[in-house]
Structure 1
């Protein structure tokens, strides 16, 4: 351990002890973005920082190892120290995986760091804001999930004040915790489905935002559990309601000046040439990217035209971009200066989702790609013939299609590396197979006594 790192470690430990912290979590994520860790008393904090805690990768999804391989170790990022708002005796660290003393190729966080380093070499800082949509539910009398408020029954509950007030205690605790952590929440609301909410907080660099997203899912669920409820980040829990997106709002800043390089007031949409090239790169690789930003079977039940009481779902179905038009995969919000990807959902591994989007955008810049004219029309109204005539492609419509596109595009392996690429493809292909082998309630109702 370097002298300066040793001093930093001692300073962090002293500060944590003064706050009454007893235990530390050097938390890394599996393929799904679910946190994993051992619990280390602060008396062994220095050893933990050096990677004392070992993990058998073969016991986890997406940590590609055989049972006979040497374990991986978690190395905490000291700058990410987060004391749990619901348990002040425990501190959480976002951590990187190492193997044999070197960064582990298939570490999700490391994959994003490799791409952000590419951006840095080009003179850019990747800034990211994520809109977090989620449901807060409880088990109903019949065991099926229902909203926590008995009044949350409107056909169109979006922005409903009563729905917000009925969940005030939970939402207030969540937002206060986020603000106490320095996340700067500037808005939150009742979303378009019963029991669904959204929080919006200030953007930051992409790696830090991905860390915060991981912690947000943990915190939102733990605070709900205190009340006998649960938070779900399933993309589409109810077939007749909107799903939960995690819209990625992306921009590049000058690494020296911090200036937003996507902003151009002379452009009608407020986006620079660099921003349009970034869009073009994402559109080029959109089918492959979809496997990482919509990574579950259920994700593709969100990416449909209709399926909510409000009529349209607000989720994209085409590989397209537009200005302030929510029917496109990529949107330039009012005022410009950023690019929003609306196909990302709350089940994503935020590191892998950010890595693929950023890598594709950087490719668009390097190659000077042009995304063509933006779509300002309602994309949902196009017929199949009209889409074909205009050369507009669909996003993958199933996880199976997305995984095939991911595997077929050489870009995917370039971003993920050999180990994670193989592990991701194999796991997701098996997930799709398992889904098809399952006999659903819909099939029983339709076919059991049909013939």
Structure 2
């Protein structure tokens, strides 16, 4: 308890009055109780109990089950930059004194332990995209007071300047938190932004992205706006992606095993004309092999699959992947091997993901490829939206799931997912996603009625 005692002294000295021992539900939505600093030691010992069966997709359903306790990770202590009376902690759920097997953060920690047994650390950087919108009499509008006229406001200097009050406050807090902010920009969507900061181990990254969504929402509200992490808010505008940039560090050498500049290009990589290590390709092969089931985790909502399209109602290409494929620096493939950094970028995940789960299954899939030396096949380096012969050249080529139902079916049918995530968790998750599918799919919309009422 020495660590807790030292932290308590530090928090009191900085004026903290309340603590949040926070966990996430199956959707990645934060839950907590607020604990006065006087009861800090009780909180650390797991005093705060939660009836998780009352939440969607958490298991332990029924009034006869005992509660789960939150056990905060003291290393994750984060004093809120905008209100320093409060401190946030990422927490694990415990059930009957043991880590709860269906807790998202526990699932990721189990995956990280699997890598640690191989003397590896899974490092992850996520690129968060999101919309900031105003409510007007005519409906939702971009946060900026002046609308951009044209196909896309991407990188527009005037638009990002108009968003200054919101972005300046947000990025100041990101810097204060020590996350290594290195850029932010007006993204392709009207009122859409991306904030980029440094990578670290997957558990810490998932903690940070969970806190980031909490922070963005509050700052947007302060500025009279709504922050949205909905994957595809508008059918004619860009989706909000959350690209996962993945690498593995050898604990002994502190080297990234995907870094060919340090380790040299592998034999398989040389055969494919790629300046990467063979470990990079094996990990890629594992991600491709489990891609259909993985999509149920990285693209977890009904709305997600309205973003995994080539164009749809957009004026030009979507820049979102539609094919299970990889390529050298190819942004039209699911997996991209960037030439400016030694990592694997999965472009499919979106901002509705539970980042603990998306990280965990990504790591399991990649390690499976690494263990079995899975060959991902020939890279596809063309524009896959236009290429007519991609199917003939890409052995692993397949369409990513078109719907949440298709992805959920793939997850349910995956023996591998059941092995690494737990059969009970997969059943709970799939049941939740099918429930979400049913609620959306069977709804008859006004647009649908207008089209088909007198169609035949």
* TM-score bucket (shorter structure): over 0.9
Residues 30-429 of structure 1 correspond to what in structure 2 (within 5 A)?
30-66=25-61, 67-142=63-138, 144-154=139-149, 155-265=151-261, 266-267=264-265, 269-307=274-312, 309=314, 311-383=316-388, 387=391, 390-391=394-395, 392-429=397-434
CA distance in 2: counterparts of 1:308 and 1:335, whole angstroms: 32
> Which one is further off, 54-63 or 308-317?
308-317
Cα distance, 1:433 vs structure 2: 1.1
Cα distance, 1:420 vs structure 2: 1.6
SS of structure 2 residue aligned to 1:164 = helix
Cα distance, 1:331 vs structure 2: 0.3
CA contact (8 A) 2:411 2:426 kept: no
Say how many residue pairs are matched: 444
Cα distance, 1:446 vs structure 2: 1.4
Change over 3 Å in CA distance of 1:443–1:105 after alignment to 2: same
CA contact (8 A) 1:251 1:261 kept: yes
* CA distances 1:250-305 after superposition (whole Å, capped 9, x unpaired): 00001123211101034454421111100000000100000000000100010000
CA contact (8 A) 1:323 1:374 kept: yes
CA contact (8 A) 2:235 2:314 kept: no
CA distance in 2: counterparts of 1:95 and 1:395, whole angstroms: 33
Q: What TM-score do the two structures reach when normalised by structure 1?
A: 0.96
Cα distance, 1:449 vs structure 2: 5.1
CA distance in 2: counterparts of 1:99 and 1:206, whole angstroms: 24
CA RMSD between the two structures: 1.4
CA distance in 1: counterparts of 2:50 and 2:351, whole angstroms: 26
CA distance in 1: counterparts of 2:347 and 2:276, whole angstroms: 17
Cα distance, 1:336 vs structure 2: 4.2
Cα distance, 1:68 vs structure 2: 1.2
Unaligned runs of at least 5 residues, structure 1: 1-5
For 2:2, the equivalent position in structure 1 comes to 7
Cα distance, 1:191 vs structure 2: 0.5
Q: What TM-score do the two structures reach when normalised by structure 2?
A: 0.95
CA distance in 1: counterparts of 2:424 and 2:451, whole angstroms: 42
Structure 1 segments of 4 or more deviating over 4 A?
388-391
CA contact (8 A) 1:242 1:307 kept: no
Change over 3 Å in CA distance of 1:389–1:370 after alignment to 2: closer
Unaligned runs of at least 5 residues, structure 2: 266-272
Cα distance, 1:422 vs structure 2: 1.4
Cα distance, 1:309 vs structure 2: 4.7
Cα distance, 1:61 vs structure 2: 1.7
